[in-house]
Amino acid sequence: MQKIRNIAVIAHVDHGKTTLVDGLLKQSGTFGTHEQVNERAMDSNALEKERGITILSKNTAIRYGDHKINIIDTPGHADFGGEVERVLKMVDGALILVDAYEGVMPQTKFVVKKMLGLGIKPIVVINKIDKPSADPERVVDEVFDLFVAMDATEDQLDFPIIYAAARDGIAKMDMADPDGDFTCMFNTILEKVPEPTGDAENPTQLQVFTLDYDNYVGKIGIARIFNGKIAKGDNILLAKADGEMVKGKISKLIGFLGLNRMEIQEAEAGDIVAVAGIETVDVGDTICDPQNPMPLDPMHIEEPTLTVVFSVNDSPLAGQEGKHVTANKIRERLDAEMNTNVAMRYETVGEGKFIVSGRGELQITILAENMRREGFEFGIGRPEVIVKEIEGVKCEPFEHLVVDLPADNAGTIIERLGRRKAEMKAMVPMGEGFTRVEFEIPARGLIGFRGQFLTDTKGEGVMNHSFLEFRPYTGNVESRQYGALISTEDGVALAYSLFNLQDRGVLFTAPQTKVYKGMIIGEHSRSNDLDVNPIKGKAQSNVRSSGADEAIKLVPPRDMNLERALEWIEDDELLEVTPINIRIRKRWLDPTDRKRYGKK
Ligand SMILES: Nc1nc2c(ncn2[C@@H]2O[C@H](COP(=O)(O)OP(=O)(O)OP(=O)(O)O)[C@@H](O)[C@H]2O)c(=O)[nH]1
Ligand SMILES: [Mg+2]
């Protein structure tokens, strides 16, 4: 049997997981000397590269000495937390990274809780010790306190600590030691992470934890082999979560090494492989020996907490910019998404309308962003949290929120969050004039808060939240304070009229942009909506105007990208998303309809 270790890399967002995996790949010598390796090599899809975040967990394998180490890099953003939980069931150990300055953050708590619950003994990596403001000792204390608060066992509390600057390939076991390379990390992994259990002689059992899709071979399941062997061409039984058994055949078996995937003939207990040929495969399914099927426990798939309505674009500019615009095309695309993305669902509601549900705004924004890049055009409405009844009580999702902000702003933010039904849980100074405040808040209260928060803290504040639990419904929360500036005309926005409108609020529209009746061109500086005419030109007079009033000074419009716009809109507003533009509009374009169907 091969000597194998299986580990996951887990942490709060941005604490350096993918960068650490770069280091493990490089320093293990897995790459050939001729191979050019990019930064954050595992963040392989376009949106991941662009945003610098990991969206999908991915696995790789390295060779170190006579061992193979399978490593699963996980996403740190709270919207993808469910994936981390599944990944942790596939491994025997975990590297938990904590930023040497930021310390324990909401998603650190989330992943630690899951990890401890599964009985994993972690290796703690205090990362980014190179930061001038780093305070590794404080952070180690925080981690220890967190483990205690979460009922870690004696064994789990006895965690090894590695201090690292992953970006620079540096690691050491003691802050007082001189900087070393990752040797100590490799050795700690081999020493502390248990060998995989299971036996190659037992009946075959693989559990699928991630799905992938390939145009040539179709649906691919990435799975851990818990027992037995698997080979290309094997006949298998697929045990589904509901107990159904489906016959299948492995058409292709794929192994991992570094950034490469290669076809292999056979693999055995302890390893992680990808299998193709089973079209009905889902996350959590067990691939079993047909003679002796022994399904593993199905996996917990997290419940969605948020919904957004996707719809066929029906604005006056519909069909001009997108390639795929029909309800059928949108439905096909959503079907394809649900095929590999277990955390999302959708249902059709009426003609050309789909309710898409997921774990958070980022997850939904990423789907929308991918769709627009593929040439889709569609409308999306305001995100709404899912309210459900638990033992007869109406409940809604709550989040744990941590904000780091200049101490001077703390009062304003606490007050604002109070109006959004947040309850303050802790407040600690963070040094350098910064304060950390922790809250528990209904997820509803967070929708649309980020923009306000950034304005209030002049962009210096950082906020992080992660799902806590469903709790009884809290009643009304305050939403957007400002109204919209709504175009009364179809046409092209002109500098002259925008200039005259700009002291009414903040404009989103630049001159020469197409506008239509009912389109929102800015945020009003008061709480009510205001109808405005952005296409009016300067009246021609006989007297040639002097140079002075031709030099119109326009404040640059606020850039409303998909995320910002989605946060901003209210119930009676929609986004029009096309490959080229994000427009904000009123659901009812006609002012009379708006009055009739009314806001709020
Ligand atoms: N100063 C410093 N920066 C680092 C270090 N390690 C990583 N970073 C930086 O931290 C940022 C985030 O790194 P990633 O590796 O993408 O973090 P991640 O944990 O994978 O992030 P998500 O996957 O989105 O949760 C990048 O800009 C890295 O260059 C380090 O040791 N020191
Ligand atoms: Mg990452």
pLDDT digits (tens, 9 = 90+) for 467-496: 888 999 998 887 788 999 999 999 999 999
State residue 600's pLDDT score: 46
Q: Which residue has the higher pLDDT, 227 or 300?
A: 227
pLDDT digits (tens, 9 = 90+) for 295-318: 999 887 778 889 999 999 999 999
State residue 300's pLDDT score: 77
State residue 323's pLDDT score: 96
What residues have their beta carbon closer than 5 A to ion ligand 2? 17-18, 54
Q: How far is the CA of 560 from the centre of ligand 1 (A)?
A: 27
Query: Of the residues 12, 13, 14, 45, which should be mutated to test ligand 1's pocket, given the most ligand atoms within 8 Å of the CB?
Result: 14
Using a 6 Å CB cutoff, which residues line ligand 1? 11, 13-19, 40, 52-54, 75-77, 127-128, 130-131, 165-167
What value, to the nearest 5°, has the Cα angle with vertex 83 and ends 468 and 443? Answer: 30
Closest atom of ligand 1 relative to the 21 alpha carbon? 15
- Quick one: pLDDT band at residue 31, thresholds 50, 70, 90? confident
What value does the mean pLDDT take over residues 495-500?
Answer: 92
Q: Whose CA is nearest to atom 21 of ligand 1?
A: 14
Q: Whose CA is nearest to atom 24 of ligand 1?
A: 53
Q: How far is the CA of 74 from the centre of ligand 2 (A)?
A: 7
State residue 45's pLDDT score: 83
Alpha-helix residue ranges (DSSP H) falling in 150-213: 154-157, 183-192
Q: List residues bridging with 122 in a β-sheet.
A: 94
Closest atom of ligand 1 relative to the 19 alpha carbon? 15
Q: Which residue has the higher pLDDT, 586 or 476?
A: 586
Q: How far is the CA of 67 from the centre of ligand 1 (A)?
A: 27
155 Rama class: left (phi>0) / alpha (psi -120 to 50) / beta? alpha
- Quick one: pLDDT band at residue 551, thresholds 50, 70, 90? low
Phi and psi at 348, nearest 5°, equal -85, 130
pLDDT digits (tens, 9 = 90+) for 81-132: 888 989 999 999 999 999 999 999 988 998 999 999 999 999 999 999 999 9
State residue 185's pLDDT score: 97
Which residue reads 């001159």 in tokens? Answer: 511
According to DSSP, the β-strands at 252-257 and 260-263 are antiparallel
Q: How far is the CA of 362 from the centre of ligand 2 (A)?
A: 15
State residue 544's pLDDT score: 56
C-alpha dihedral, 429 to 434 to 436 to 441, nearest 10°: 140
Q: How far is the CA of 403 from the centre of ligand 1 (A)?
A: 20
State residue 83's pLDDT score: 87
Q: Whose CA is nearest to atom 9 of ligand 1?
A: 16
pLDDT digits (tens, 9 = 90+) for 437-475: 999 999 999 988 888 898 899 888 888 888 888 999 998
For residue 20, give the ligand nearest its CA: 1
Query: Of the residues 38, 110, 167, 168, which should be mutated to test ligand 1's pocket, given the most ligand atoms within 8 Å of the CB?
Result: 167
Round the average pLDDT of the chain to a whole number and report it: 91
Is the per-residue pLDDT at 141 higher than 80? yes
Is the per-residue pLDDT at 62 higher than 80? yes
Is the per-residue pLDDT at 550 higher than 60? no
pLDDT digits (tens, 9 = 90+) for 163-187: 999 999 999 999 999 999 999 999 9
Q: Which residue has the higher pLDDT, 462 or 546?
A: 462
Q: How far is the CA of 5 from the centre of ligand 2 (A)?
A: 21
Closest atom of ligand 1 relative to the 168 alpha carbon? 31
C-alpha 255 chain-centroid distance: 27
Q: Whose CA is nearest to atom 3 of ligand 1?
A: 128
pLDDT digits (tens, 9 = 90+) for 406-421: 999 999 999 999 999 9
Dihedral (CA of 389, 394, 400, 403) sign: positive
Which residue reads 């304005």 in tokens? Answer: 455
Query: Of the residues 19, 27, 49, 162, which should be mutated to test ligand 1's pocket, given the most ligand atoms within 8 Å of the CB?
Result: 19
Is the per-residue pLDDT at 36 higher than 80? no
For residue 40, give the ligand nearest its CA: 1
Q: Whose CA is nearest to atom 31 of ligand 1?
A: 165
- Quick one: pLDDT band at residue 33, thresholds 50, 70, 90? low
State residue 548's pLDDT score: 47
Residues 376-395 as b or e (16 or more Cβ within 10 Å = b): bbbbbbbbbbbeeeeeeeeb
What value does the mean pLDDT take over residues 388-408?
Answer: 92
What value does the mean pLDDT take over residues 1-13?
Answer: 92
Q: How far is the CA of 40 from the centre of ligand 2 (A)?
A: 7
Is the per-residue pLDDT at 540 higher than 70? no
State residue 47's pLDDT score: 87
Q: How far is the CA of 462 from the centre of ligand 1 (A)?
A: 16
pLDDT digits (tens, 9 = 90+) for 351-383: 899 999 998 888 899 999 999 999 999 999 999
Q: How far is the CA of 20 from the centre of ligand 1 (A)?
A: 8
Residues with Cβ within 8 Å of 260's Cβ and at least 6 positions away in sequence, in order, are none
C-alpha 90 chain-centroid distance: 21
Q: Which residue has the higher pLDDT, 220 or 79?
A: 220
Q: Whose CA is nearest to atom 13 of ligand 1?
A: 16
What value does the mean pLDDT take over residues 239-253?
Answer: 93
State residue 29's pLDDT score: 83
State residue 49's pLDDT score: 87
Which residue reads 């009985």 in tokens? Answer: 119
State residue 543's pLDDT score: 58
Q: How far is the CA of 483 from the centre of ligand 1 (A)?
A: 39
Is the per-residue pLDDT at 154 higher than 60? yes
